[in-house]
Amino acid sequence: QKEVEQNSGPLSVPEGAIASLNCTYSDRGSQSFFWYRQYSGKSPELIMFIYSNGDKEDGRFTAQLNKASQYVSLLIRDSQPSDSATYLCAVRPRGGATNKLIFGTGTLLAVQP
């Protein structure tokens, strides 16, 4: 079992719809969770992070964390063609003050105009 799993996609949604991206992780002791966006040929950039169970909203983005079920999701409301990218889920494992991140392989999102 991979430490961080994502559906590779592509996930295709029409413009204006809600895109839902999911991620599961294997280490129940994982501390914090990150969503990065990566445009084709570019480097990853942080969108959001979440530490506590529940929802965290930032503009059109909402991160959801359920530690009991070991999943984290990212919702993108009012999807735009400019949101088309690969979304990487990253998990900080247990182990004190560590800066190590474990990434999933990413989900490709395609927003159709």
Sorted by sequence, the CB contacts under 8 Å of residue 110 that are 6+ apart come out as 9, 10, 11, 12, 13, 84
Residues recorded for the chain: 113
Q: How far is the CB of 46 from another protein (least distance, A)?
A: 5
Residue type, 17: A
List the one residue from 88, 91, 109, 111 that touches another protein (CB under 8 A).
Answer: 88
Q: Which of residues 36-65 bind another protein (CB under 8 A)?
A: 42-46, 49
Task: Name which of 24 and 104 has its Cβ closer to another protein.
Answer: 104
Coil, helix or strand for 27?
Answer: coil
Applying CB under 8 A, the residues found at the interface with another protein are 32, 42-46, 49, 88, 92, 97-106
